[in-house]
Amino acid sequence: MNKSDLIDAIAKHADISKAAAGRALDATVDAISVSLKKGKMVTLVGFGSFYVGRRNARAGRNPRTNEPIKIRAAKVPKFRAGKALKDALN
């Protein structure tokens, strides 16, 4: 499912226009992004939680030249599925 398919599904399910569904989806994604940037966790009960994880600095290797490189530490977005979502899949 891509973004336009998701907008169609939201519009049909909520009985709103596709334009309104698109704005609602964009606002939701923006709100989650802003919260994660601030280091806050976003929890949707039953669906799951979005949070920021840390990846430590490490040594890597350039696959083309085979020479060692340093990979910097980074913050990465993560998602943990909730119980209701897990149960819906099984």
HEC secondary structure over the chain:
CCHHHHHHHHHHHHCCCHHHHHHHHHHHHHHHHHHHHCCCCEEECCCEEEEEEEECCEEEECCCCCCEEEECCEEEEEEEECHHHHHHHC
pLDDT of residue 64: 94
| Mean pLDDT calculated for residue range 58-84 | 95
Amino acid at 7: I
Rounded-to-integer distance, Cα 9 and Cα 62, Å: 43
Per-residue pLDDT tens over the stretch 24-70: 999 999 999 999 999 999 999 999 999 999 999 999 999 999 999 99
Amino acid at 62: N
pLDDT of residue 72: 96
Say what the pTM is: 0.81
Partnered with residue 54 across adjacent β-strands are 75
Domain 41-90: give its CATH superfamily.
Answer: IHF-like DNA-binding proteins (4.10.520.10)
